[in-house]
Amino acid sequence: MTDSLVIMGVAGCGKSSLGAALARASGLQLVEGDDFHSPASRAKMSQGVALTDADRGGWLDALGEQLRAHPQGLVLTCSALKRAYRERLRQAAPGLRFVFLDIGRAPAQARVAARAAAHFFSTSLVDSQFATLENPTGEAGVLRVDALAPPDQLRAEVSAWLDANPEPA
């Protein structure tokens, strides 16, 4: 894998875990999208206030800069909930591919609640994430995987997809 890959989905789907596994397997750098949220956005989310498109604008710009700064490729974790957000990232890295970790509302809620003490994201925002999500299944360069599958299976599934499709679709 020499191209960049975005691991996307709602909160609690497992972006960080899968992203880390794929970065280790590929030798690419892992960039955690959450690390690029502004302090104001982090404060909003920790208080249970959903981000707006305007709040996400600077964040998406920063992630686009990360993609441009790593022309050899990277693994980026990013919710990328709306098609417009994915298009902004694609502009920064033509041929960018996405792995959509598809998960139901109840399991996502349970996962977010389980990490509440260690993560800034409020459990009350899970519903807003599902309301905002524009399912990317069917978009070019997107692989949908079951977020509840075992981590090793997910890594193998993504690696097989990348190996079978060396050129971004």
Whether 167 is in a domain gets the answer no
Whether 166 is in a domain gets the answer no
Whether 164 is in a domain gets the answer no
Whether 169 is in a domain gets the answer no
Determine the pLDDT at residue 21. Answer: 95
Determine the pLDDT at residue 113. Answer: 81
Record the pTM.
0.90
pLDDT digits (tens, 9 = 90+) for 52-76: 889 889 999 999 999 999 999 999 9
CATH of the domain at 88: 3.40.50.300
pLDDT interval class at 1 (50, 70, 90): very low
Cα-Cα-Cα-Cα torsion 64, 67, 69, 72, nearest 10 degrees, comes to -160
Q: What residue ranges in the chain does DSSP mark as E strands? A: 5-8, 29-32, 74-77, 97-102, 142-146
Residue 92 domain boundaries: 5-159
Whether 145 is in a domain gets the answer yes
Crossing angle between the packed helical segments 53-69 and 83-92, to the nearest 10 degrees:
30
Q: How many domains does the chain have?
A: 1
Whether 17 is in a domain gets the answer yes
- Check pLDDT > 50 for residue 44: yes
pLDDT digits (tens, 9 = 90+) for 134-145: 999 999 999 999
Determine the pLDDT at residue 122. Answer: 63
- Check pLDDT > 50 for residue 2: no
Whether 152 is in a domain gets the answer yes
Whether 165 is in a domain gets the answer no
- Check pLDDT > 90 for residue 32: yes
pLDDT digits (tens, 9 = 90+) for 74-133: 999 999 999 999 999 999 998 899 999 999 999 998 888 886 655 555 667 788 889 999
